[in-house]
Amino acid sequence: MIHIRPARADEIERARDIERISATRFLGTDRAELAEDEPTDAATLAERIAQGGLLVAAEAGAAVAFVMFRPLEGCAYVEQIDVAPSHARRGIGAALLEAVAGLARARGWPALTLSTFRDVPFNAPYYARLGFTEVEALTPGMAQIRAEHEARGLDETARLFMRREV
């Protein structure tokens, strides 16, 4: 049985491992180079844990997926969500997003936002099935995230921002 809860500091390396192995899903896509990306650094994960912005989905006490988010312009911006391939296609990612939506409601945030690839089946099409819609005009915060992505070398022409009301 899967249990969603706040991440603990002793799970930082496990989250990095989940992100690393989850990235192998990109190998069969036009974004295969992402499989070689370094996972989120431990300091950022520790910061999100301290802020209540990192949840894990655990089975038998061990993390098998996580979602990392932070406030952005009064909404919950989903920075990263990864599910270990051994636990894929079981609704865990959707459950993690629902948990973030619940926290957003409790914190008075009206929506979830995220940035993703438009042409990768498990990215934008997946989020669209979960009720996210494309953001037509970027907010200043989204434009800043786009600039950060470009500085990291991401192809922002292949990406879009999405939003879902909570």
Number of domains in the chain: 1
Residue 42: count other Cβ atoms within 10 Å of its Cβ. 13
Each residue's pLDDT tens digit, 41-95: 999 999 999 999 999 999 999 999 999 999 999 999 999 999 999 998 899 999 9
Residue 16 has pLDDT above 90, yes or no: yes
- CATH at residue 111: 3.40.630.30
Q: Does residue 4 or residue 1 have the better pLDDT?
A: 4
Residue 3 has pLDDT above 90, yes or no: yes
Torsion angles phi and psi, residue 40, rounded to 5 = -55, 140
Domain that holds residue 97: 2-165
CA-CA-CA-CA dihedral for 71, 76, 80, 84, to nearest 10: 130
